[in-house]
Structure 1
Amino acid sequence: MSIHRVGPGKRMSEISVFNGVLYLAGQVPRETRGRDIREQTAEVLAMIDGLLEGSGSNRSRLLSCQIFLRDMALFASMNEVWDAWVAAGQAPARATVQAALASPGCDIEIVAVAAA
């Protein structure tokens, strides 16, 4: 079975596809860095929507998400946006942890896995 890579770069690919499963690279805010966690979360989720749709999938096909927050004090506010976004009855398996994020000004990074 072959592996298909979308947006391959020197360090990573935006998506790796294997055996009908999409593995998205960690997505961080670009336009909303340094802003409220709600804005950052909405931007990242929109980016995930775009990547999934571009690969013939959508948020209802998410299998799992790993959410990294700069500070767990942001958890409730992030969940407000997440809860409005996630497909009803289709919530993926999920883990949320506090982490030192590599991108300055980013309070969130989300890694997603979805069925194609």
Structure 2
Amino acid sequence: MAAITRHQSNQKLSRVVVHGETVYLSGLTAEDKTVDTEAQTRQVLARADELLAGVGTDRSKLLLTQIYLRDTGDFDAMNRAWIDWLGEAAPPARITVGADFALAEIRVEILFTAAL
């Protein structure tokens, strides 16, 4: 059985979990939640880059992303940041859904799964 390693853990969650050759990131939200959806998305994607690099992988190895939006009317704004961030990387499988968040200022949350 493949080893499981957990990074940046607390009582509620592990920010990063590595199982075998697969990396799972917890749902990420923006640090500055006062900005619009596009800016929050850019913050989340930058944080994902940091976390993926921390375990030896990057956005080019994304397998799946799950994107949650407070307002599905912000789909195009989120996609502008997403497409810019992906650049030349092959896009992963992806789902985007509307969601209620515990904190009203959260506009977007993204969960990532990547290969090592």
User: TM-score category by the smaller chain?
Assistant: over 0.9
CA distance in 1 between counterparts of 2:105 and 2:21 reads 34
Structure 2 residue aligned with 1:30: 31
Structure 2 residue aligned with 1:90: 90
Identity %: 37
CA distance in 2 between counterparts of 1:94 and 1:87 reads 16
Size of the alignment, in residue pairs?
115
Deviation at 1:104, TM superposition (A): 3.3
Cα RMSD (Å) of the superposition?
Answer: 1.0
TM-score by length of 1: 0.95
1:11-45 CA distances to partner (integer Å, 9 max, x unpaired)? 100011101100000000112x0211111010000
What residue ranges of structure 2 are gaps of 5+ in the alignment?
none
Structure 2 residue aligned with 1:75: 75
CA distance in 1 between counterparts of 2:99 and 2:3 reads 33
**Regions of 4+ moved over 2 Å:** none
Q: Which moved more, 1:102-111 or 1:49-58?
A: 102-111
Structure 1 residue aligned with 2:105: 105
Q: Which amino acid aligns with 1:25?
A: S
CA distance in 1 between counterparts of 2:102 and 2:23 reads 23
More strand by share: 2
